[in-house]
Structure 1
Amino acid sequence: MDRTGGELADRILGGWTGRIAGNMLGKPVEQGDHWTREHIDAYLRLTGALPLTDYLPPPPPGATGFELRPEWRACVRGGIDGSCRDDDIDWSILGLHLLETYGSAFTTEQVGREWLMRLPYLQTFTAERAAYRNLANGLRPPLTATYDNPYQEWIGALIRADVHGWTSPGDPRRAASLARRDAVLSHSGNGVYGAMWAAALIAAAFTAPDVRTALESGLAQVPPSSRLARTVRGTIALYESGLGWSAALDELAERTAGLGWIHTVPNAAVLTAGLLYGEGDFTRTIALTVRGGLDTDSNGATAGSVAGVMCGAAAIPPQWSEPLRDRVSSAVFGFDGVGIGELAERTLRLATLTP
């Protein structure tokens, strides 16, 4: 790949656009203990939206039991006018700012400093909120991740990882190393491995011939005996056995039972299945991933990032990109209203630097 040419720029813009579109698709149904896979599909049947090829339709009047998240009016078909504010996108923006400020040699302590300087406490959740509180109380990494933090293996670090992949095109090892340095501020174990895997997967997507190869490149950067790696490999095996998408998710749900809907491991299974059964099609990939349930907006965002990198922004169907209006709402200080194109251009400048 020409790292300085139009192809890389298009793929990075595809990653940003895909992440935001996938996040917006999953946002109205982000409540995994209520919006199960079966409940999401029941809603889609009720609204005539199967197969899912666009953002979610608004709920019909009187549809009890199908209440969407409070922000739904701004992230359903006909209501989208730029992206909604969401932590999945805030973390990508904050990660970009981190790399612009400190370069690839940033420290975990500098990650924490930028959190305190740029992001409001109440716009953080689970492990990140625990780590933020620990930072404010004077603790330093890695104690920020382990003290009074029951969410250490939840999905938060994984959703912070994309920018490390976008700025390491074709270099999964570098991407995983950067993501690890970021992740250990708030996570441990499979929480850290999830971030390393996602960053490496996205980096590999720039040069891999197919998503299966990119997934393997991501797996090569995490301990093979970890539960995350075993679950991703198990998902790949189910796909290669010829089992259908729904049946595969039934099996994976049994294997990861009890971990909860925000834990990294079951979400990695849903994400991997969406990528594999999406078979390289952007729309099918994010639709299946969100229909898989659990942390729908986070999984949709990461799936959209991978699929967007692989196909490039020019190939993302317009029903996903046009309603975003090249505009991002963000809680990150100094970035609200920033253009998607501007974020991609700034990312490109970092990606073309020699590590």
Structure 2
Amino acid sequence: MALKSGELADRVLGGWTGRIAGNMLGKPVERGDHWTPERIDRYLRLTDALPLTDYLPPPPADAPAEGFELRPEWPQCVRGRIHGSCRDDDVDYSILGLHLLETRGFAFTTEQVGEHWLLRLPYLQTFTAERTAYRNLANGLKPPLTATYDNPYQEWIGALIRADVYGWASPGDPRRAASLARRDAVLSHTGNGVYGAMWAAALIAAAFTAPTPRTALEAGLERIPASSRLARTVRHAIALYESGVEWSDALAELAERTHGLGWIHTVPNAAVLAAGLLYGEGDFTATIALTVRGGLDTDSNGATAGSVAGVLCGAAAIPSQWSEPLEDRVRSAVFGFDGVRITELAERTLRLATLAG
């Protein structure tokens, strides 16, 4: 299905807006070893915010704070206090990837991804696998050693959160999106860490033309090894949804299936993300709310879920309580991009998508 230019522009803007809104929704409770789904829902009940249909509310002044401490950035990313987006690596990497495609083209190399990091991204704004790869680059190592040398985070979620721009720039072409994401991901990740990036990019590319979230999920699975733990886990999430299992029960079963991998590993987070997309059934608010309520790496999962849902529905269909507080403005640690307009990022991405054709 070919998209008309106006619809394509709306879908690309929907992806950017959805990613930023989903990231902001999940940011206050980003600590999966503490903010479990049960604790998140207790906080929402405490603040009279279930069902969740807006950004997280601030902590009530008269409520006991113990156990419900939000991240330090919470005053800038709770409802009623948002004036543009907070800075976050989940958005920084989308911006960095956009600039990479603009300057290096679709034939970029993994080595050029590394050069771009060193030129544009502050070291202290990198974490886990990315910080290790950055250090390895600075010490003169080349890919794939940058991903494997002294790196215990090779299958964590970092590469997945970098993948969206490759999907936005490849509308309806999951194969190309996955190929681009793979070239980026192998700088810092291996195995399921790389598959997560390929799957996410393909999923987002497929969302431009897919009729349902499930269709997009399955298109993403076609781009990674069927025997990988990531693919098997996502297929299990689809099976639970199709069999009529309630969202909370499905989440519990998926958590048991991925137990022991840790809250920043790609596989359990992909399970939460897949469940949010499936049970959200294409509704933007339901999708990001369920995904964030699923816990683990809440801001990363909320961002990717928002990206997929935003592409599926388009920016015009994203409810105003999510888009208006962003004030069309992004804070970023990427050199030269702090304060950039969301609409400008979308327009630049659209030019790439149109060029790639």
Task: Name the TM-score class by shorter chain.
Answer: over 0.9
Q: Which residue does 2:284 correspond to in 1?
A: 282
Q: Which residue does 1:308 correspond to in 2?
A: 310
Give the letter aligned to residue 162 of structure 1. D
* Alignment deviations for residues 152-191 of structure 1 (CA, whole Å, 9 cap, x no partner): 0000000000000000000000000000000000000000
Q: Which residue does 1:116 correspond to in 2?
A: 118
Distance across 1 between alignment mates of 2:157 and 2:229: 14
In 2, are the aligned partners of 1:274 and 1:285 still within 8 Å (CA)?
Answer: yes
Structure 1 residues 16-165: aligned runs within 5 Å: 16-61=16-61, 62-165=64-167
Report deviation, 1:4.
5.8
- TM normalised by structure 1 equals 0.99
Give the letter aligned to residue 69 of structure 2. E
Q: Which runs of 5+ in 1 are unaligned?
A: none
Distance across 2 between alignment mates of 1:2 and 1:101: 27
Distance across 1 between alignment mates of 2:148 and 2:283: 40
The structure 1 segments of at least 4 consecutive aligned residues displaced by more than 6 Å after TM superposition are none
Distance across 2 between alignment mates of 1:238 and 1:291: 18
In 2, are the aligned partners of 1:3 and 1:352 still within 8 Å (CA)?
Answer: no
* Alignment deviations for residues 305-340 of structure 1 (CA, whole Å, 9 cap, x no partner): 000000000000000000000000000000000000
Give the letter aligned to residue 325 of structure 1. E
Report deviation, 1:354.
3.2
SS at match of 1:70: coil
Q: Which residue does 2:175 correspond to in 1?
A: 173
Distance across 2 between alignment mates of 1:88 and 1:215: 21
Q: Which runs of 5+ in 2 are unaligned?
A: none
In 1, are the aligned partners of 2:170 and 2:177 still within 8 Å (CA)?
Answer: yes
Aligned length: 355
In 2, are the aligned partners of 1:4 and 1:352 still within 8 Å (CA)?
Answer: no
Give the letter aligned to residue 287 of structure 1. A
Report deviation, 1:2.
4.9
Distance across 1 between alignment mates of 2:71 and 2:143: 34
Structure 1 residues 182-221: aligned runs within 5 Å: 182-221=184-223
Distance across 2 between alignment mates of 1:147 and 1:354: 35
Report deviation, 1:63.
2.5
| Backbone CA RMSD of aligned residues | 0.8
Report deviation, 1:3.
4.8
SS at match of 2:356: coil
Distance across 2 between alignment mates of 1:244 and 1:170: 31
Give the letter aligned to residue 58 of structure 1. P
> Could you tell me which of 241, 250, 253 is aligned with 2:252?
250
Report deviation, 1:78.
0.8
Distance across 1 between alignment mates of 2:356 and 2:104: 15
In 1, are the aligned partners of 2:169 and 2:356 still within 8 Å (CA)?
Answer: no
Distance across 2 between alignment mates of 1:91 and 1:4: 28
